[in-house]
Amino acid sequence: MAWFRTDNAGIASELANSSAVIEGFAAAFFAGLGVGDAALNPTARWIVRIVNSLLATPGADAAEERAMLEQFVVPSVLGRITS
């Protein structure tokens, strides 16, 4: 079950991608992980897009979503950690 309906996913996406507060939360999370300054804002915007996408078009079940996160998101995030 999606958090957003298909007819309002665009509005949710626009809000998520235009909010300095949401990007700030994501940036603070990644800064805490040691993501370098040069990669901080693009990484924060990218993860907001990923989360928004999963809320709008979730996987078939929790196991599929977890597998996608482990296979694609985690390695990408870990690759940006500098400390």
pLDDT digits (tens, 9 = 90+) for 46-66: 888 888 888 778 888 989 989
pLDDT digits (tens, 9 = 90+) for 9-50: 677 677 776 778 888 888 888 888 877 676 677 878 888 888
Residue that wins the pLDDT comparison between 82 and 45: 45
What is the pTM assigned to this prediction? Answer: 0.67
- Buried-state track 24-53, b at ≥16 Cβ within 10 A, e below 16: eebbeebeeeebeeeebeebbbbbbebebe
